[in-house]
Protein backbone atom coordinates (compact mmCIF):
# COMPACT_ATOMS: atom_id res chain seq x y z
CA UNK A 1 0.00 0.00 0.00
CA UNK A 2 2.88 2.36 0.71
CA UNK A 3 4.20 1.77 -2.84
CA UNK A 4 0.86 2.77 -4.39
CA UNK A 5 0.93 6.01 -2.40
CA UNK A 6 4.33 6.82 -3.95
CA UNK A 7 3.08 6.22 -7.50
CA UNK A 8 0.11 8.60 -7.32
CA UNK A 9 2.09 11.83 -6.70
CA UNK A 10 4.58 10.95 -9.46
CA UNK A 11 1.71 10.44 -11.90
CA UNK A 12 0.07 13.71 -10.91
CA UNK A 13 3.32 15.63 -11.41
CA UNK A 14 3.89 13.99 -14.79
CA UNK A 15 0.42 15.06 -15.92
CA UNK A 16 1.16 18.78 -15.62
CA UNK A 17 -0.62 21.03 -18.13
CA UNK A 18 1.19 23.21 -20.68
CA UNK A 19 0.41 26.52 -22.37
CA UNK A 20 2.21 27.18 -25.64
CA UNK A 21 2.53 29.74 -28.38
CA UNK A 22 3.53 28.78 -31.90
CA UNK A 23 4.79 31.62 -34.09
CA UNK A 24 5.37 30.91 -37.78
CA UNK A 25 7.91 33.14 -39.51
CA UNK A 26 8.90 33.31 -43.17
CA UNK A 27 12.55 34.21 -43.71
CA UNK A 28 14.40 34.72 -46.97
CA UNK A 29 17.51 36.09 -48.54
CA UNK A 30 17.79 37.86 -51.84
CA UNK A 31 17.82 41.34 -53.27
CA UNK A 32 15.31 42.78 -50.83
CA UNK A 33 16.38 45.32 -48.22
CA UNK A 34 16.79 43.80 -44.75
CA UNK A 35 13.62 44.03 -42.67
CA UNK A 36 12.11 42.58 -39.52
CA UNK A 37 8.34 42.46 -39.09
CA UNK A 38 7.53 44.71 -36.07
CA UNK A 39 5.34 41.89 -34.67
CA UNK A 40 8.55 39.87 -34.22
CA UNK A 41 10.17 42.42 -31.86
CA UNK A 42 9.97 40.02 -28.85
CA UNK A 43 11.85 37.39 -30.91
CA UNK A 44 14.37 39.70 -32.58
CA UNK A 45 17.27 38.59 -30.34
CA UNK A 46 16.63 34.95 -31.32
CA UNK A 47 16.40 35.77 -35.03
CA UNK A 48 19.51 37.99 -35.04
CA UNK A 49 22.08 35.25 -34.36
CA UNK A 50 23.43 32.37 -36.49
CA UNK A 51 22.06 30.47 -38.30
CA UNK A 52 19.42 33.15 -38.94
CA UNK A 53 21.93 35.86 -39.91
CA UNK A 54 21.99 34.49 -43.48
CA UNK A 55 18.42 35.72 -43.98
CA UNK A 56 17.52 39.35 -44.63
CA UNK A 57 13.74 39.48 -44.45
CA UNK A 58 11.61 38.14 -41.58
CA UNK A 59 7.82 38.21 -41.74
CA UNK A 60 5.42 36.79 -39.15
CA UNK A 61 2.82 34.71 -40.97
CA UNK A 62 0.72 33.88 -37.92
CA UNK A 63 0.75 32.97 -34.27
CA UNK A 64 -1.50 30.61 -32.37
CA UNK A 65 -1.99 29.54 -28.76
CA UNK A 66 -2.13 25.89 -27.77
CA UNK A 67 -3.23 24.52 -24.41
CA UNK A 68 -2.53 20.95 -23.34
CA UNK A 69 -4.60 19.71 -20.39
CA UNK A 70 -3.01 16.30 -19.98
CA UNK A 71 -0.27 13.94 -21.12
CA UNK A 72 -0.46 12.66 -23.80
CA UNK A 73 -2.58 15.15 -25.74
CA UNK A 74 -2.45 16.07 -29.40
CA UNK A 75 -3.30 19.28 -31.23
CA UNK A 76 -3.47 19.86 -34.98
CA UNK A 77 -2.48 23.23 -36.40
CA UNK A 78 -3.73 24.33 -39.81
CA UNK A 79 -1.68 27.03 -41.49
CA UNK A 80 -4.08 29.82 -42.56
CA UNK A 81 -1.78 31.74 -44.94
CA UNK A 82 -2.62 31.10 -48.60
CA UNK A 83 1.09 30.60 -49.38
CA UNK A 84 1.10 27.66 -46.93
CA UNK A 85 -1.85 25.76 -48.40
CA UNK A 86 -1.67 22.04 -47.62
CA UNK A 87 0.73 22.53 -44.69
CA UNK A 88 -0.29 21.21 -41.27
CA UNK A 89 1.33 20.32 -37.97
CA UNK A 90 0.45 17.71 -35.39
CA UNK A 91 1.86 18.53 -31.96
CA UNK A 92 1.69 15.96 -29.18
CA UNK A 93 2.48 16.83 -25.58
CA UNK A 94 4.14 13.66 -24.35
CA UNK A 95 5.82 14.39 -21.04
CA UNK A 96 7.02 16.63 -18.27
CA UNK A 97 10.39 16.18 -16.54
CA UNK A 98 9.91 16.94 -12.86
CA UNK A 99 13.67 17.30 -12.25
CA UNK A 100 14.56 19.26 -15.40
CA UNK A 101 11.32 21.20 -15.84
CA UNK A 102 11.37 20.20 -19.52
CA UNK A 103 8.15 19.85 -21.48
CA UNK A 104 8.45 17.15 -24.16
CA UNK A 105 6.61 17.40 -27.46
CA UNK A 106 6.52 15.38 -30.65
CA UNK A 107 6.04 17.55 -33.71
CA UNK A 108 5.07 16.35 -37.17
CA UNK A 109 4.98 18.94 -39.94
CA UNK A 110 3.41 17.75 -43.20
CA UNK A 111 2.61 19.12 -46.64
CA UNK A 112 -0.20 17.31 -48.45
CA UNK A 113 0.30 14.24 -46.21
CA UNK A 114 4.09 14.11 -46.87
CA UNK A 115 6.22 14.49 -43.72
CA UNK A 116 8.66 17.43 -43.83
CA UNK A 117 9.85 17.42 -40.22
CA UNK A 118 9.29 15.04 -37.30
CA UNK A 119 11.40 15.93 -34.22
CA UNK A 120 10.90 15.30 -30.54
CA UNK A 121 11.62 18.57 -28.74
CA UNK A 122 12.30 19.49 -25.10
CA UNK A 123 11.33 22.96 -23.96
CA UNK A 124 12.52 24.50 -20.72
CA UNK A 125 11.31 28.09 -20.97
CA UNK A 126 13.38 29.53 -23.83
CA UNK A 127 11.80 29.75 -27.29
CA UNK A 128 12.82 26.92 -29.60
CA UNK A 129 13.02 27.49 -33.37
CA UNK A 130 12.50 24.70 -35.91
CA UNK A 131 13.60 25.52 -39.46
CA UNK A 132 12.06 24.06 -42.61
CA UNK A 133 13.21 24.94 -46.16
CA UNK A 134 10.22 26.60 -47.83
CA UNK A 135 10.04 26.37 -50.79
CA UNK A 136 13.86 26.07 -51.16
CA UNK A 137 16.93 26.20 -48.86
CA UNK A 138 17.34 29.99 -49.18
CA UNK A 139 13.76 30.59 -48.09
CA UNK A 140 12.58 29.01 -44.86
CA UNK A 141 9.76 28.75 -42.40
CA UNK A 142 10.79 29.12 -38.79
CA UNK A 143 8.37 27.56 -36.31
CA UNK A 144 9.06 29.07 -32.89
CA UNK A 145 7.65 27.23 -29.86
CA UNK A 146 7.35 28.85 -26.45
CA UNK A 147 5.73 26.84 -23.67
CA UNK A 148 5.26 27.07 -19.93
CA UNK A 149 4.11 24.30 -17.60
CA UNK A 150 0.95 24.70 -15.57
CA UNK A 151 0.83 24.14 -11.83
CA UNK A 152 1.58 20.69 -10.44
CA UNK A 153 -1.39 18.35 -10.05
CA UNK A 154 -2.95 18.01 -6.65
Convert the pLDDT of each residue in 79-90 to its tens digit.
988 888 889 999
Give the C-alpha separation, 145 to 63, whole Å.
10
Q: Which of 113, 103, 109 is nearest to 143 (CA)?
A: 109
**Strand-pair category, 73-78 with 87-96:** antiparallel
Q: Which of 119, 112, 67, 120 is nearest to 94 (CA)?
A: 120
Give the C-alpha separation, 103 to 126, whole Å.
11
- pTM of the full structure: 0.85
Residue, of 45 and 125, whose pLDDT is higher: 45
Amino acid sequence: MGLAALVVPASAAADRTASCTLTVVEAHDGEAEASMDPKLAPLEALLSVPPFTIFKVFKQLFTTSLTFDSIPQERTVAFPAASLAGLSARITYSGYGEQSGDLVFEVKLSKDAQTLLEPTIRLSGAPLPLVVPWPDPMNVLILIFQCTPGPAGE
